[in-house]
Amino acid sequence: MDRYLGKKYPETMEDLPIAAIVPWPGSTEEVDVSSWRTFRPVINQEKCIRCRLCWVYCPDSAILELDKEYTNKQGKKFRITFEVDYQHCKGCGICAFECPVNAIEMVPEER
Ligand code: SF4
Ligand code: SF4
């Protein structure tokens, strides 16, 4: 385990620690799972009613609640904006499933 201290998170499978070990506090913050996805969630800010359900249900805390104002085409002003943290999103689609107004679309990843 000491070999991981002070180092960047392992990049290859062979370098990974055995089982569900967190090498150091906060290490998962450094993991980039973007290559795991086949689909990515895209939030339609016009449709989003800022209910926060996607933020609640995301198993990877990959929905960000930002202090960023947004005014929609009808002139309704929101104080917050929800965006996806694509470094930590695995593309599971739970957010899109839970969104009550279908504001999240899962679109195919293009590499
Ligand atoms: S697709 Fe899954 S991991 Fe990505 S933001 Fe939505 S719920 Fe979170
Ligand atoms: S669940 Fe849908 S409507 Fe609610 S905050 Fe997320 S994207 Fe917006």
Average pLDDT for 6-28:
70
Q: Residue 64 in 3-state DSSP?
A: strand
Query: Which of 40, 52, 66 should be mutated for ligand 2, with most atoms under 8 A from CB?
Result: 52
Higher pLDDT among residues 21 and 104, named by residue: 104
Report the nearest-CA residue for atom 6 of ligand 2.
54
Tokens of 67: 């202090």
Closest CA to 37 of 84, 90, 86: 90
Query: Which of 92, 98, 105 should be mutated for ligand 1, with most atoms under 8 A from CB?
Result: 92
Higher pLDDT among residues 34 and 84, named by residue: 84
What is the second-level CATH architecture of the domain 32-108? 2-Layer Sandwich (3.30)
Task: State the distance from the centre of ligand 2 to the C-alpha of 46, rounded, in angstroms.
Answer: 11
Ligand in closest contact with the CA of 34? 1
Burial of residue 104 (CB within 10 Å: 0-12, 13-18, 19+) is: buried
Domain limits, the chain: 1-25, 32-108
The answer to whether the CB of 43 is under 6 A from ligand 2 is yes
Average pLDDT for 105-111:
91
> Which segments of 27-67 does DSSP mark as H helices, in order?
53-57
Which pLDDT band, with edges at 50, 70 and 90, does 1 fall under? Answer: very low
Task: Say yes or no to pLDDT of 105 above 60.
Answer: yes
